[in-house]
Structure 1
Amino acid sequence: MTSEPAERAGVPRRSLLLGAAAGAGAVALGAGGAIAPPAQAAAPFVKGADISWMPQMEAKGYYWNNSSGVRQDLFTILKGYGITAVSLRTWVNPSSDPGNGHCSIEETAQMAQRAKNAGMQVLIGFHFGDTWNSVGVQNPPAAWAGMSYSQMLQAMYDYVYHSCNVIKYYGVTPAWVKIGNETNSGICKPTGSISKPAQMTGLLNAAYEMSKQVFPSTPVLVHLAQPQNLAGVQNFLDAYRSNGGKWDITGLSSYAQGGNVPTVLANMQTIQSGYGKPVMQVEYGGPVGKPTQVRDSLRAFVTGVRGFGGLGTFFWEPEGYPSFNGYNSSAWDESSRRPTAAMDGFLNV
């Protein structure tokens, strides 16, 4: 189910030998500055939202009203708040569980096509697992768990190259590709643990190189969580950089609220200046029951990130209803199906 139509269309898989050759080309490209052209820095500040649950919610009969209480296409509502981009996660061999599964590359590509047709830019986020990976969990896909490092490296080349070609088959060129999700402790542990920095870097570089092979001009992000813990983020980036790690943008998650926001913003700016890569806040959110607090903190992040030259801020799954996913972080009131005041944080900033 994950990619059969694309396979029939002749989407190729990539060999390690060709991947290594592509990697050499990517290094030269990076050294020449072509990966992150000046136009990237001049691009408008991105206001975005991760809406990966949208297809599964629609399949369960969920829908969304606009602020006037009128049922409307979710993309249209989001654009009314100045949102121009969506983030979509993808898993390797996910289950059919509505909240913790789906998001195969085939499903994600179809959703990316919908977003493109709605006039949205798309961020594709690889978790390199069969379900959630995050700052506390970095489990490899079950099919990779018993592999040696060299086997896993080959699997990474094949998987990312193939997945990017599936996205391309659906007519989408992502605006950004994110390799890993909150990878502070590494990826595909224990093989790619930060305690094995050369292997961690090798796996991530394979993903970087294959993304560039298919989408040469698309910036690639690494993604770290908890910028309030500056040393933890620096620990990853130092290890990654010292082992030859390649990335174009540093993606950061922060759900900070109120008085905690200024410290996080200062750390984000330190990360941007210290590593010479622009920062993008790829996750933000807050309690659905505190919409004005979430609004004000979102506004502070948008203003602050843009102020130091960061690239954008994404709200994580604002459309999610607690009855569907069990999470308290949302920006839609389930009883009225209207957006809460939290979404106003994107307006007039």
Structure 2
Amino acid sequence: MIKRILFLLSIVIIISCSGDDHSNRHVTEETQKFYKGMDLSFQSELDSYNIQYKDQNNNAIDLLDYVTSKGSNLIRLRLWHTPEGGFNSLEKVKQYALKIKSTGADFLLDIHYSDTWADPANQEPPLFWSTLTNSEIKNAIYEYTKKVISELKEQGTTPTIVQIGNETNSGFLWDYGKIWNEFDNNWLQYIALSNTAEKAVKEIDPNIKTMIHVAGINFARFFFKKFEESGGNYDIIGLSYYPQFHSKNLNQIKNDLSFLAVTFNKNILLTEISYPFTFNWNDNLNNFIGDQSQILNEFPATPDGQKDYLEWIIKTLKEIPNNKGLGFCYWAPDWVAFEGNENTYSNGSSWENQCIFDFEHKVLKVIEVFSSD
């Protein structure tokens, strides 16, 4: 009887929202979907090399159409302010966002607030902002964020989720919003900047969910406690989980995720995950993972092990208390080895053994997990 009532309620909600542009795009408590996402940010660059991806029968495929047809329902794109070479620029993001919209998948925008990679050890502000005062940087964040979201909305590709900074364990926009080492007491300044970005997003569209993203599940206990105590605003907890960096204790991972869900009452998205299908390589560039010490004993570096690992991730997320497991995003499943020029990753990839495509660019069996219940 209860299930029947909940079903009828969900139908009422869908019908009442049918005239709203956001009804099929935005996450709500009543219609929350489970995300099986992919970060396809490298397509901004790889698309120009005409890499031929293949399905399990060796047939040529269009990457985005294929992965979304197989169940990937969230696509993440990173945005750099003024990137060298133009990759991951707003213009490139807007172009790919139109492709995402055509598939019906949801769109996660990852704003790095940098001209290049932002992570716990690197949070360089855009060059154009590097000499601004504290008040000027706050205004720059506000105006830039509003511009980005406005332009995406105007072309009909409003993001479902907007990520305010990338792996912000140490804050962002150093030293303005740095919260690491000698800047441990700078939390209020960091929060002021983060909240300014959040405000800009919500002013353009209050239905957009904002996410704060950090690397490491255990570290998130400390971070989000400080974030909320300091007055930080956000909707979703975003986490990177790479066993070689964060933890190999599967029970601890489960416990930490449960703790976060119960303590902060927020949906949790594993924003970056991946796993190797081999320790071999397909180019001359060193890979991030190359031996057993870097992975989990429970899941070997084989196509089956990669698939089993992702199935474990999904099972773990769905067991998070109070239905707070929002899903995952597989990072760079497409970053295969390729022939580039001398300025492009030494003609290769440091990730090809963690892709969902083998060295012949044929999709691996892990793709089956995306279409499973």
> TM range, normalised to the smaller chain?
0.7 to 0.9
Say if 2:201 is the partner of 1:211.
yes
Q: Which residue of 1 aligns with 2:50?
A: 61
Structure 2, unaligned stretches of length 5 or more?
1-25, 279-300, 339-347
Q: Distance in 1 between matches of 2:369 and 2:34?
A: 14
**When the two structures are superposed, what TM-score results if normalisation uses the length of structure 2?**
0.77
Name the structure 1 match of 2:178. 193
1:174 to 150, 156, 159: 159
Runs of 4+ in 1 over 4 A off after TM superposition: none
Q: Work out whether 1:298 is the aligned partner of 2:313.
A: no
Of the three residues 64, 77, 91, the one matched with 1:88 is 77
1:12-62 deviations in whole A, cap 9, x for unaligned? Answer: xxxxxxxxxxxxxxxxxxxxxxxxx99335422111100011232121121
- Greater displacement, 47-56 / 321-330: 321-330
**How far apart are the structure 2 equivalents of 1:135 and 1:306?**
28
Pick the aligned partner of 1:339 from 344, 363, 366: 363
* Offset, 1:255: 2.4
Secondary structure, in 3 states, of the residue corresponding to 1:333?
coil
Structure 2 Cα separation of the partners of residues 41 and 267 of structure 1: 25
Secondary structure of the corresponding residue to residue 204 of structure 1? helix
Count of residue pairs brought into register by the alignment = 305
Matches within 5 A, 1:228-307: 230=218, 232-256=219-243, 260-289=249-278, 290=301, 291-307=303-319
Q: Secondary structure at the match of 1:331?
A: coil
Q: Is the 8 A contact 1:110 1:170 kept in 2?
A: no
* Whole-angstrom CA distance in 2 between matches of 1:344 and 1:120: 18
Larger radius of gyration: 2
Check the 8 A contact 1:221/1:251 in 2, yes or no: yes
Kept in 2: contact 1:265–1:301 (CA 8 A): no
% same residue: 26
CA contact (8 A) 1:293 1:342 kept: no
Q: Deviations over 1:121-153 (max 9, x none)?
A: 100110111111112221111221222211110
* Distance in 1 (alpha carbons) for counterparts of 2:306 and 2:119: 22
1:288-311 CA-partner distances (Å, limit 9, x unpaired):
412322211111111111221211
Residues in 1 aligned to 2:107 and 2:251: alpha-carbon distance in whole angstroms: 28
Report SS of the residue matched to 2:38.
Answer: strand
Q: Are 2:212 and 1:222 equivalent residues in the alignment?
A: yes
C-alpha separation between the residues in 1 aligned to 2:355 and 2:250? 19
CA distance in 2, matches of 1:265, 1:87: 24
CA contact (8 A) 1:186 1:193 kept: yes
One-letter amino acid matched to 1:239: K
Cα deviation for residue 243 of structure 1 reads 1.7
Q: Which residue number corresponds to residue 147 of structure 2? A: 162
CA contact (8 A) 1:302 1:346 kept: no
What one-letter code is carried by the residue in structure 2 that aligns with 1:220? T
2:288 match: none
Question: What is the TM-score with the length of structure 1 in the denominator?
Answer: 0.82
Contact 1:253 1:282 in 2 (8 A): yes
**Cα RMSD after superposing both structures:** 1.9
User: 1:70 is paired with a residue of what secondary structure?
Assistant: coil
Question: 1:133 aligns to what?
Answer: 118
Distance in 2 between residues matched to 1:67 and 1:38, nearest whole Å: 32
Residues 267 and 208 (structure 1 numbering): CA distance in 2 closer, same or farther, change over 3 Å?
same
Q: Tell me, what secondary structure is at the counterpart of 2:82?
A: coil
| Aligned mates of 2:61, 2:78 — CA distance in 1 | 24
The match for 1:326 is 350
| Rounded Cα–Cα distance in structure 1 between residues aligned with 2:263 and 2:124 | 29
- Unaligned 5+ residue runs, structure 1? 1-36
Does the residue aligned with 1:338 lie in a helix, a strand or coil?
coil
What is the distance in 2 between the residues matched to 1:48 and 1:261? 22
Shift, 1:347, TM fit: 4.2
Hey, what's the Cα distance between the residues in 1 that align with 2:62 and 2:34?
24
Structure 1 residues 281 and 38 mapped into 2: Cα distance closer, same or farther (>3 Å)? closer
> For the Cα contact (< 8 Å) 1:106–1:166, is it kept in 2?
no
- Which string of whole-angstrom CA distances, capped at 9 and with x for unpartnered residues, describes residues 186-240 of structure 1? 111121012210110011101100011112101100001111xx2x323321222
